[in-house]
Structure 1
Amino acid sequence: MNAVPSGVCFYLSVAICWLTAEVDASWWYMGTLGSQVMCDNIPGLVNKQRQLCRQHPKVMQAIGAGMKDWISECQHQFRAHRWNCYTTARDHSLFGRLLLRSSREVAFVYAVSSAGVVYSVARACSQGELDSCSCDPSRTGSSQDARGSFDWGGCSDHVEHAMRFSQAFVDARERKERDARALMNLHNNQAGRKAVKRFMTLQCKCHGVSGSCSVRTCWSAMADFRRTGDHLRKRYNGAVQVAVNQYGTGFTAAHAHFKRPSKNDLVYSEDSPDYCVRNQDSGSVGTAGRVCNRTARGADSCEVLCCGRGYDTARLSRTTKCECKFQWCCAVHCRDCHQQVDVHTCKSQT
């Protein structure tokens, strides 16, 4: 995974200012004036976003701390593909010129980043890191599910609050523009937010004599972000190519045999480049030097990943722990085993 440099404020075209967890956080403690100075100097924010930034500096910090999670998820989902959610430390937009397109990869980036904002804010609320929210106040009293009645307790993740904040902040620029690209961005942002809510689960503790579970205390919790990532990856696979309708208010399928997109689908309008070679205009970094699997037949195979250019093979020596044995009491002793492995990497364009 490509490291996210510390101390840098990234500006996606969705106008989210991501502040990394390692950034010098001294300004957060400078009070209202410090927050205002920092927010006023973030490039690309519209007035509504600057206002929210000034009012909620700790929320901005929580979003920045969660940045690495959704980037990591994006790179996990596309780790074996020509486009592997590559990020560049030398570009203020994080994904470079890729974001100038309206491809299905960009649709995924918008959706997963919007979902990441919801997840980060809701988690910070539940952990008591924010003054503006805490646990979901609507989860009180008694309720019931398929197993019977239960009492609300614990700390339910306040996803509704996080979704409202994400919508207010992330969507502010798109709502100001209201062109075809903005409509797609808004749609994909919302699809990402809905994906987090989709996987809310009910977690419970039993109370009673000898674990009889005569009384249950339950709370609503977000699932691991991997489930959101898996869901959005499937939506990427089935993304719908669209055109804006004649009124400029919604979408029609770009081709007659395509389905009309639902609110949960990802939408795009431009075909993707093949990502085989470096192309600054399309934002492709190419696949030269990528490690491929010589014996595979899927997307990570040397034939597919290297785009038919061939691959180089290098024999490397690796040391791993092996023949581990447990010794009473209480240690595990292992040997260092050395092995020679072949690593295959895609050739450059000739």
Structure 2
Amino acid sequence: MLPFSRTQLGLFFILLCPANIIGLWWAVGSPLVMDPNSICRKTKRLAGKQAELCQLEPEIVQEVAKGTKLGVRECQYQFRFRRWNCTSHSKYFGKILQQDIRETAFVYAITAAGFGYEKSQQFMDAKNKKGKNDIRALIDLHNNEAGRLAVRSYMRTECKCHGLSGSCTLRTCWRKMPHFREVGDRLLERFNGAFKVMGGNDGKTLIPVGDNIKPPDKQDLIYSADSPDFCSANRKTGSLGTRGRVCNSTAMDTSGCDLLCCGRGHRDETVVLEENCLCRFHWCCVVQCRKCSVRQELSLCI
């Protein structure tokens, strides 16, 4: 990848500062996700020369959008059975980013991972380094690094042999990025075991809260405030609530109706869905299917 100019780097970290991550996560939910004009309109703090630069450097904006889209999809997959399901609704998501809670830690980590290790380190940390003595900035920098390390630790070496009759007289090797699902799984484990921290007296260090707790390592996620329960809709905390969410009436984990519905109970509902059926392969190379109606029983939180 060619090095970016100083003005390009400036645009990149402007787009990736907390206020604009909100706009980016909202923008990637629209059909115009890869349209730089659409993304530039949805981000903040862009005026005059900065707004012009956003339009003149579409390849930079597209790189930001690709990484954000990857992070959005993985976050929503990993949290699909939880009370907070990683909604990209702008009015609620923005409130999540304003808090130092576990969910914010995951958002920063998965977004950093979405951009890959080197690019993410250059661009996502740039804004925060100016205020590195601020506790919030220290937490964000730490979680950015945890996301990058989740990518780096799963990179693997692959090799290919060259030579006559299958001999390996010459071998070419390279480092391959992991499947992003592996990265998401790893970060969810870190989310479940995230460390609560507070600022040290010097304003430059983070100390784990609680007795006899080891300091978090670089791959751990950290936060400083407890999360809301996300049971009821509350714009102040960024909670959409769980009313109407589909739950599993037999599960005992986070997808189960008892936990997901916050003890309010659930109702069963029969819905009719259309699915592909009676699919046939026609040479060459088309698969044709019919549409079949399927009745399905759903449990919904009340």
2: CA distance, partners of 1:13 / 1:250: 21
Residue 274 (structure 1) shift: 1.0
**Could you tell me whether the CA contact under 8 Å between 2:34 and 2:62 is conserved in 1?**
no
1:254 maps to which residue? 209
1: CA distance, partners of 2:282 / 2:66: 41
- Aligned equivalent of 1:231, options 186, 210, 213: 186
1: CA distance, partners of 2:301 / 2:61: 40
**Could you tell me whether the CA contact under 8 Å between 1:241 and 1:268 is conserved in 2?**
yes
What are the equivalent positions in structure 2 for 1:249-328 lying under 5 Å apart?
249-322=204-277
Q: Pick closer, same or farther for the CA change 1:307–1:324 going to 2, 3 Å.
A: same
2:128 maps to which residue? 174
Residue 265 (structure 1) shift: 0.9
Work out whether 1:77 is the aligned partner of 2:78: yes
2: CA distance, partners of 1:255 / 1:27: 46
1:13 maps to which residue? 18
**Could you tell me whether the CA contact under 8 Å between 2:105 and 2:143 is conserved in 1?**
yes
Q: In structure 2, give the amino acid aligned to 1:116.
A: G
Report how many aligned residue pairs link the two structures. Answer: 280
1: CA distance, partners of 2:143 / 2:175: 25
Residue 253 (structure 1) shift: 1.1
Residue 44 (structure 1) shift: 3.9
Residue 322 (structure 1) shift: 4.3
2:115 maps to which residue? 117
The secondary structure found in structure 1 opposite 2:157 is strand
Residue 117 (structure 1) shift: 2.2
Q: In structure 1, give the amino acid aligned to 2:228.
A: P
Residue 332 (structure 1) shift: 6.5
Q: Pick closer, same or farther for the CA change 1:214–1:168 going to 2, 3 Å.
A: closer
Listed one character per residue, the Cα deviations across residues 112-134 of structure 1 (whole Å, up to 9, x for unaligned) are 1111122xxxxxxxxxxxxxxxx
Residue 207 (structure 1) shift: 2.0
The secondary structure found in structure 2 opposite 1:95 is helix
1:126 maps to which residue? none
The alignment's TM-score, normalised by the length of structure 1, stands at 0.69
Q: In structure 1, give the amino acid aligned to 2:33.
A: E
**Could you tell me whether the CA contact under 8 Å between 1:110 and 1:192 is conserved in 2?**
yes
Unaligned runs of 5+ in 1: 1-8, 29-37, 119-158
**Could you tell me whether the CA contact under 8 Å between 1:11 and 1:43 is conserved in 2?**
no
**Could you tell me whether the CA contact under 8 Å between 1:15 and 1:170 is conserved in 2?**
no
1:22 maps to which residue? 33
Residue 24 (structure 1) shift: 4.1
The secondary structure found in structure 2 opposite 1:110 is helix
Work out whether 1:240 is the aligned partner of 2:238: no
**Could you tell me whether the CA contact under 8 Å between 1:114 and 1:170 is conserved in 2?**
yes
Q: In structure 2, give the amino acid aligned to 1:175.
A: K
Listed one character per residue, the Cα deviations across residues 52-90 of structure 1 (whole Å, up to 9, x for unaligned) are 9799652232111332111000011111111111110x4
2:66 maps to which residue? 65
What are the equivalent positions in structure 2 for 1:136-147 lying under 5 Å apart?
none
1:199 maps to which residue? 154
Listed one character per residue, the Cα deviations across residues 261-285 of structure 1 (whole Å, up to 9, x for unaligned) are 1111111111111111111221111
Listed one character per residue, the Cα deviations across residues 238-269 of structure 1 (whole Å, up to 9, x for unaligned) are 11111111111111111113221111111111
Listed one character per residue, the Cα deviations across residues 174-219 of structure 1 (whole Å, up to 9, x for unaligned) are 2223311111111111111222222222122222333233432122
1: CA distance, partners of 2:74 / 2:256: 22
Q: In structure 2, give the amino acid aligned to 1:252.
A: I
1: CA distance, partners of 2:38 / 2:283: 52
**Could you tell me whether the CA contact under 8 Å between 1:241 and 1:269 is conserved in 2?**
yes
**Could you tell me whether the CA contact under 8 Å between 2:33 and 2:65 is conserved in 1?**
no
The secondary structure found in structure 1 opposite 2:210 is coil
1:103 maps to which residue? 101
2:173 maps to which residue? 218
Q: In structure 1, give the amino acid aligned to 2:263.
A: G
1: CA distance, partners of 2:83 / 2:282: 46
User: Based on CA coordinates, which of the two structures has the bigger radius of gyration?
Assistant: 1
Q: Pick closer, same or farther for the CA change 1:336–1:191 going to 2, 3 Å.
A: closer
1: CA distance, partners of 2:38 / 2:272: 47
Residue 330 (structure 1) shift: 8.1
**Could you tell me whether the CA contact under 8 Å between 2:16 and 2:123 is conserved in 1?**
no
Q: CA RMSD of the aligned region, Å?
A: 3.5
Q: In structure 1, give the amino acid aligned to 2:96.
A: L
